[in-house]
Amino acid sequence: MKKYFIFFFLIFFQSSVFAVNPITEPLAKYLRAGGYSDSDIDRLIKMVAEKRITIEEVGYRLQLGLVGYSPSQSDEIISMGVTIEELENRLILRELGYDQKTIEIIMLTSRVLKKRKKGKSNSTHKIQGLITTTVQKRLKDIYPFVVEASKRFDVDQALILAVIHQESSYIVKAVSPQGASGLMQLMDGTARDMDVKDVFNARDNILGGTRYLKWLMESFGGDLVLVLAAYNSGPGLVAKLGRVPKITETIDYVEKVTEYYEQYLEIYPKS
C-alpha cells in the first residue's frame, strides 16, 4: 500500500483541497504524520503557497518518510533534484532493507554507469578527446613512474592516470588555491605522511599519490566510490559520514574520475 500513497496524496490535494485553498490543515496533518515539526510544516506550506516547491515534491517527502527517511534526509534528497526513477529506486532499496549509506553509494554508482552506457557508442572519439597531443607528451614523460607506482602498490595504471588527469592535467608543478601540489595534488600533510620529499618531482609525487590511493582502498574496503570521495574531500569526513558527502565538487569529482578511469582502461587494461 505504501507505494500507492503518493498517488492518492497528489490526487486528493490537487483535485480538491488545493483547488480551493493551498494553505490547509489537511496538508499540515499529512506532514505532521510524516514526522515534520510545526516549524517545518509552516515552512513547507509557505513554500507551496509561494510556488517555490510543487505539491509533488511535498508528496515525495512524505513517501520517503514512510520508508524511514527523516524530514531532513528527505529534504536533502529532494534538493539534489533527483528524478522520479531515482526516487522510486531509493524507496525500493529502503524497503528491501538497505541502509542509507548503501543506497547513496548504489545511486551514485548507477548515475556513473548510465553516463558510461550513454557514451559507449562514441568511446573512441571520447578517448581521442581525452588524450590530446599535449597530454600525450606529458603522459609519455611520466609514464615510467606510473608503471613503477602501479607495480609497487598494486593500483591500476588507469586509475593513477585518471586521478592525475583530473587533478592536474599532467602539469608537474600544478598548485591549487587550497595548497595541493604536483601531479596528484597532494596537500602538505598527505605528502609528509606518504614520505614525499619533493611534491614537484614527478616520480616522488606519483609514488606518494599512489601510495595514498592504496591506503584509501584498504581503509574503505576497496570501494572505489568512497576512495575517490575521500581523495577529494578527505578520509575523515567520508569515514564520519559513511557515504559520499553531499558536496557538489566531490560528487562531480567521483563521477569524472570514474569516467576517466573507464576510458583509460581501454588503453591501459588491468594487469
Q: What is the DSSP string of 111-141?
A: HHHHHHHHTGGGHHHHHHHHS-HHHHHHHHH
Does 50 qualify as catalytic in the annotation? Answer: no
List Cα–Cα distances, 213 to 76, 104, 162, 167, 267, in angstroms.
Answer: 30, 22, 12, 13, 21
Neighbours of 38 (CB within 10 A): 10
Q: Give the active site residue among 50, 57, 148, 167.
A: 167
Rounded to whole angstroms, the Cα distance separating 64 from 174 reads 44
CB 27 within 8 A of CB 17: yes
Q: Which three cell numbers stand for residue 239?
A: 569515514
Contacts of 219 (CB under 8 A, 6+ apart): 230, 235, 239
**Active-site amino acid positions:** 167
